Structure 1
């Protein structure tokens, strides 16, 4: 049977959206006649990104719980009930053969309803510390696809399959893009290059750090590709120079990674998975403002295996210069970090996930 119907839900951030799109793309390559429908949260970025990838999407009126008492929290029960009703209508109309959740607000109601309607369900958990949605859904699904070890603390052991996180295939072999990357950004091949990644929106604390350390980088002959995010571009674009390239977005990530000798990054699950495949020395500066502090846990899981340096935001003033200088001046240390992080890479995650989905579909 090749005319399967797949319903996918994941959103709120790129870390939930892009894995869902990658899984859909792999399914589509195997089942060209299959039908796909995404379900997201009405006011979130998936409503734009999914159609750009060529898929239909329906939106639910849903959002997450805030950490403190707010009007949004008071509205949550109403939104949840509304979303459950809408999700049931969508599932009964579309009649999917399988529902796939990658985390985020909308995947909770959608997969809860789908499982109650007898639809086979799977979830993909990107982080080393699962979000509440996937923890609640786990008992209802066939399989839980994970990227880290020791998640049987949160999920039934017999349902866990370690696959890794789906990533862009153009990241395989970025070393071949060194010359092309330096040319694209008009950089000097004789200098070391620092790539700074703050996410598509940007990371205020990382931007403040880079602004403060520009003279330090200059003194050590370091050139910088600084992806500051669209929220901050106007604030920092005046630092553009021969050795500092300031960008709101990075459209050609493979070339940016190729040009880099050292990378500074947040520690969202998708970023960590990409950086493992890239295999360059990384300094993680995790965001402390995320649910369950999962970025710190993601970064620590790599740092504990000797694959990266971890500096918390609160320690940047005291530890950054010393840590960065010790790394950039030691060829052996840079090679060691690059080799160790590469060992953690799972480049075939998307194929592995879809292989498992096929096994479940063929159980009929």
Structure 2
């Protein structure tokens, strides 16, 4: 069998990058001799994260359209043309067997060029409400792997496969890691642990909320692991002076931090939601209102409507947070109910199922 070649494109946020890496890792485990190339957007976080995972990446000069009139918007047509031309060069030089897009600006021009060249393309859509790039690409894509039901109004029904979102395999059995996790983060087993996740860059409004409530948490015998994001670390790191609080810019061992947590406060990015379903801890979602199409609120609602999590909108935090959090903290039955219900929504085989679909395209 000839050596297989795969191009993967996804970036801008961890929610697009980590699924692409998870898919590449699964492909690599099945085809150890295969060649891999990632394509991202210059100056975005994928340019660091992908090489750290052991893969080569090429950057395109591309960015999304801003909602307001900016100088960057005037450059968009030039950037798009540049990215289409560079994508054509990448495709003709590398000659991939399949091109896989997990979302983000770079996947648009790359998958468009691949589809026109007759190369099989696969879209992996993480959200319950797809972005404009994937909606446009879906017309030419061979397969669309989705994480939510009822997306027929956005994508051709015959191309869709319900797979779920790729997740880190080390999250599948975190129960057995509880003791290791408490030791790793130097936590007290007799106290409740609150994990606060704001995404890889951080979440301003969540950070402001936690800074305001931090002493109240401590008074309630709650210890906090607060991932504030690299943009905000300098501003909040002094809170770590309190023995009950650990402020981190980034968490390397997500398996252990989830194992240690009793309650999680999180944004509702698609990857985070999928991970939290597998992890099965009681969650309060605080969706970001600043993402296109209000994706995060829709992602959170898909869980909340099945009684698998709680949700507070940013503009309701001042009036609702203490009521919701204190009720959850004091109500063991509610914690157990949410935990059991969110776990029912987990799709632990998502990565394998997506790669099965990719393999079917190769063997045609």
What is the TM-score normalised by the length of structure 2?
A: 0.98
Q: CA offsets, 1:88-144, max 9 Å, x none? A: 111111111111111111111001000101101110001111111100000101110
Residue aligning to 1:111: 111
Residue aligning to 2:341: 340
Worse-matched range after superposition: 69-78 or 183-192:
183-192
Q: CA offsets, 1:338-359, max 9 Å, x none? A: 0010011011111000111111
Matched position secondary structure for 1:33: coil
Residue aligning to 2:328: 327
Residue aligning to 2:197: 197
Output the aligned Cα RMSD: 1.0
Q: CA offsets, 1:319-347, max 9 Å, x none? A: 00011111111111000000010011011
Matched position secondary structure for 1:151: coil
Distance across 2 between alignment mates of 1:200 and 1:38: 20
Matched position secondary structure for 1:139: coil
Q: How does 1:82-231 map to 2 (within 5 A)?
A: 82-231=82-231
Deviation at 1:84, TM superposition (A): 0.7
Structure 1 stretches lacking a partner, 5+ long: none
Q: Is the 8 A contact 1:2 1:32 kept in 2?
A: no
Distance across 2 between alignment mates of 1:185 and 1:52: 24
Distance across 2 between alignment mates of 1:225 and 1:274: 17
Question: Is 1:304 aligned to residue 302 of structure 2?
Answer: no
Residue aligning to 2:71: 71
Question: Is 1:260 aligned to residue 261 of structure 2?
Answer: yes
Q: Is the 8 A contact 2:9 2:20 kept in 1?
A: yes
Worse-matched range after superposition: 243-252 or 292-301:
243-252
Q: Is the 8 A contact 2:13 2:200 kept in 1?
A: no
Distance across 2 between alignment mates of 1:350 and 1:287: 26
Q: CA offsets, 1:279-310, max 9 Å, x none? A: 00000001111111101111111111101000
Question: Is 1:25 aligned to residue 25 of structure 2?
Answer: yes
Deviation at 1:218, TM superposition (A): 2.4
What is the TM-score normalised by the length of structure 1?
A: 0.98
Q: Is the 8 A contact 1:2 1:31 kept in 2?
A: no
Deviation at 1:215, TM superposition (A): 2.5
Residue aligning to 2:51: 51
Matched position secondary structure for 1:68: coil
Distance across 2 between alignment mates of 1:359 and 1:201: 36
Distance across 2 between alignment mates of 1:37 and 1:275: 29
Matched position secondary structure for 1:360: helix
Structure 2 stretches lacking a partner, 5+ long: none
Q: Is the 8 A contact 1:193 1:225 kept in 2?
A: yes
Deviation at 1:31, TM superposition (A): 1.0
Q: Is the 8 A contact 1:8 1:39 kept in 2?
A: yes
Distance across 1 between alignment mates of 2:2 and 2:335: 48
Q: Is the 8 A contact 1:187 1:242 kept in 2?
A: no
Residue aligning to 2:274: 273
Residue aligning to 2:287: 286
Matched position secondary structure for 2:62: coil
Distance across 2 between alignment mates of 1:324 and 1:330: 10
Question: Is 1:316 aligned to residue 317 of structure 2?
Answer: yes
Distance across 2 between alignment mates of 1:255 and 1:12: 25
Deviation at 1:2, TM superposition (A): 4.9
Aligned residues: 363
Deviation at 1:219, TM superposition (A): 2.9
Deviation at 1:200, TM superposition (A): 2.1
Q: CA offsets, 1:218-267, max 9 Å, x none? A: 23221111111121112111111221111112111111111111000000
Deviation at 1:37, TM superposition (A): 1.2
Q: Is the 8 A contact 1:193 1:224 kept in 2?
A: yes
Deviation at 1:313, TM superposition (A): 0.5
The runs of at least 4 aligned residues of structure 1 exceeding 6 Å deviation read none
Distance across 1 between alignment mates of 2:2 and 2:170: 28
Distance across 2 between alignment mates of 1:253 and 1:82: 37
